[in-house]
Amino acid sequence: VDRGLATIRKNFAATVEKGRLSQADMDKRMALLSSAVDLSAAAKADIIVEAVFEDMGVKETVFAQLDKIARPGAILATNTSTLDVDQIAAATSRPQDVIGAHFFSPANVMRLLEVIRGGKTSNDVIATVMALGKKLGKVAVLARVCDGFIGNRILEKYRVQTMALVDEGASLQQIDAALTKWGLAMGPFAMGDLAGNDVSWLVRQNRAKLGKNYTPNPLADQLCEMGRYGQKTGRGWYRYEPGNRKPIADPEVEQMIEAHRRKIGITPRAISDEEIVDRCLFAMANEGAKIVEEGIALRASDVDVVYVNGYGFPNYRGGPMFNADVAGLPQVVEKMQTWAKGHQGEAWKPSPLLVKLAAEGKKFSPM
């Protein structure tokens, strides 16, 4: 708790230093905070947001405890980024009061809030959390329950393509550079090192157990088995000098990649930056179309809102769905059919919605 409060103070102090907050306002905000080490302190809260370790057993234990402590009518929200909100709700006797409130890291900066309605979540709880998001200055997007919700479910398909491109001959540096030049805030490998490769490793292990939305990633697993978690360990996909966040190519990783290519029988080929960008972004749009079809997202533009506000997607590109519209959906389908004949071609099955809109000469954007 002390460490958490110190982090909050440090974040506020940085904002004051940049001139975005007065010292008086910082002092006022810190005075509004209270802390405790016992869950019973939440007994009178109107809304409780759980943010414990991303493990279903831990979440269920906490919600079973909250069920006994929280006052009637209190909203019990989980900050899970991938786990089943309905299963978490089932640990309580009040599933109608349980909802997902997925804040993005760092939560004091990122504007996106994914609000996840469970199968039994009541409408007044949904309306309250959406309104709370607005009050907090967030952009709230409503989603239904599925593995990864909107943002992380699509991100999985993006990661699959980045790794397939490495298999086929693209370097980590080329992929990161191509995507940042196109407009993304960071490339996938630099981002992995920043976030911590062990975090996605844990998610993959959980997905493998559940068999949901899972594509094996042997290279990334091997990286973590070597203790290369990213910036926090000084080594990840890249290596880092002490006190410097600049990624430096590491021959050890390059040798690992070369050995992996030999193992899977692939001779590296030259890959253009255009192919890198198109494959990564069209994979995202295709999964986004499936999410809209399934009713996980209410509309295609919600997918774009998620990516612009939570994943470093450039505003002027409009999001993965809008980007696919600009490229032309018939052209997107045509390219996917070509890639379906290559490495990991099974990933390129176009969603029925994408095929339908392309055939009718329509776009995602009115949806």
Q: What is the pLDDT of residue 243?
A: 87
3-state SS, residue 100 = strand
What's the pLDDT tens digit per position in 229-264? Answer: 999 999 999 999 998 999 999 999 999 999 999 999
Is residue 223 within 8 A of residue 237, CB to CB? The reply is: yes
Mean per-residue pLDDT for 125-143? Answer: 98
Reported pTM: 0.92
Task: State the SS3 of 35-77.
Answer: CCCCHHHHCCCCEEEECCCCCHHHHHHHHHHHHHHCCCCCEEE
Is residue 134 within 8 A of residue 140, CB to CB? The reply is: yes
Distance CA 20, CA 323 (A): 33
Question: Which contiguous run of DSSP H or E holds residue 160?
Answer: helix 151-168
The structure tokens listed for 263 are 């193992």
Q: Which residues contact 297 (CB under 8 A, 6 or more apart)?
A: 141, 143, 150, 288, 291, 303, 306
Distance CA 21, CA 14 (A): 9
Spatial CA neighbour of 217 closest among 162, 254, 288: 162
Lowest mean pLDDT of 161-165, 212-216, 225-229, name the range.
212-216
Residue 232, class by beta-carbon neighbours within 10 Å (0-12 exposed, 13-18 middle, 19+ buried)? middle
Please, what is the end-to-end C-alpha distance for the chain in angstroms? 45
The structure tokens listed for 81 are 């980024």
Q: Is the pLDDT of residue 215 over 90?
A: no
Q: Which residues contact 151 (CB under 8 A, 6 or more apart)?
A: 102, 104, 112, 114, 306, 307, 310, 311
Q: Is the pLDDT of residue 196 over 70?
A: yes
Q: Which residues contact 43 (CB under 8 A, 6 or more apart)?
A: 69, 70, 71
pLDDT band at 367 (very low <50, low <70, confident <90, very high): low
Using alpha carbons only, what angle is made at residue 110 by residues 108 and 115, rounded to the nearest 5 degrees? 100
What's the pLDDT tens digit per position in 272-289? Answer: 999 999 999 999 999 999
Rg of the Cα atoms in the chain:
22
Q: What is the pLDDT of residue 55?
A: 87
Q: Is the pLDDT of residue 362 over 80?
A: yes
* Separation in Å, CA 50 to CA 40, 80, 176, 319: 14, 8, 34, 29
pLDDT band at 212 (very low <50, low <70, confident <90, very high): low
Q: Would you give the DSSP letter of residue 248?
A: B
Burial code (b: 16+ CB inside 10 Å, e: under 16) for 41-77 equals ebeeeebbbbeeebebeebbebbeebbebbeeebbbb
